[in-house]
Structure 1
């Protein structure tokens, strides 16, 4: 990796940390320059605009998300889809809790819901990739006979995502343990229904 790319990755890592704590909208070239100990013009040369900076941070965040949530579950090499899904969900909830019950993607979506905005398009693409991945795992469970053949993967994914969104909300109101307990109770109920 070139020196310029190493520098940019370091900047993106710091930008990701800052946006995780303060929200994507608060991330500006000037603010990030302070965090990185760089001149504003030096940092600007890497991104050319606040919008480009925010887009690259979202793309970086999704790479981090894949490293923390998807790849560890893939490395299980398990044919047991329920076991694999539980590992994925545990990693997913851990992602949420690592940001004090928040989720960078959901928070950024909330900050600006204009779908014609380039930032929103990148967010939508990232979340769609994740939803499609969950859908594929559930479909594999059906194809392998581990889940009921009548289960509709998209509906199952919708219900699973609903539990995550509820966990996101309950964390902010009731704290991590309550969020965690309700989430897993809901997951177990879903899985039992999927196998019926």
Structure 2
């Protein structure tokens, strides 16, 4: 790996930490340069604009999400889709809680507002691909017969994602313990309604 690539990866790791703590919108080249011990012009040469930096951090966050949440579940057998989904959901909650109960993707989505900027389009694609991944896993459970044949897969993924959004909000209001308790109770009820 080239020195430039190593430097860029180190910058993105620091930027990811800052964006996770303070929001993607608050990320500036000046603050990041200070945290990385670089000059603003040296850091600017890697990205050329704040939006390019934000997009690069979003891509880095997405890769980190895949490594922490999805990749470990890919090693599990598809013969027990409920168990696999529970593993994915536990990883997902751990991802969320590693940032004080906040989700960088959802926070950035809220910060970007309703504009059709490149960042908003990238966030939309990232979240949509994650929902599609959940939909595929639920579909595997239907195909295998573990979940009922007439399960409305899109509705099921909608409801599962809704539980996560509720957990995200409850964490900020009531803390981790209550958030997790309600989340897993909701998951238990949802899965019970899916069984074939």
TM-score, reference length from structure 2 = 0.98
Q: Distance in 2 between matches of 1:152 and 1:13?
A: 39
* Coordinate RMSD, CA, aligned: 0.8
Aligned to 1:18: 18
Q: Distance in 1 between matches of 2:121 and 2:31?
A: 24
Note if 1:113 corresponds to 2:116: no
Q: Distance in 1 between matches of 2:86 and 2:46?
A: 39
Note if 1:154 corresponds to 2:154: yes
Paired residues in the alignment total 196
Aligned to 2:128: 128
Question: Greater CA deviation, 121-130 or 110-119?
Answer: 110-119
Q: Residue 81 of structure 1 contacts residue 137 of structure 1 at CA under 8 Å; is this kept in 2?
A: yes
- Deviation of 1:78 after TM superposition, in Å, equals 4.2
TM-score, reference length from structure 1 = 0.98
- Deviation of 1:2 after TM superposition, in Å, equals 1.3
Q: Residue 115 of structure 1 contacts residue 121 of structure 1 at CA under 8 Å; is this kept in 2?
A: no
- Deviation of 1:77 after TM superposition, in Å, equals 3.1
Q: Distance in 2 between matches of 1:157 and 1:113?
A: 24
Cα distance per residue 1:126-163 (max 9 Å; x no partner): 11110100000000000000001110111000000000
Cα distance per residue 1:45-80 (max 9 Å; x no partner): 000000000011001000000001000111223421
Q: Which runs of 5+ in 2 are unaligned?
A: none
- After TM superposition, what 4+ stretches of structure 1 lie above 3 angstroms from structure 2? none
Secondary structure at 1:26 match in 2: coil
Describe how 1:21-40 pairs up with structure 2 within 5 A.
21-40=21-40
Q: Distance in 2 between matches of 1:192 and 1:20?
A: 34
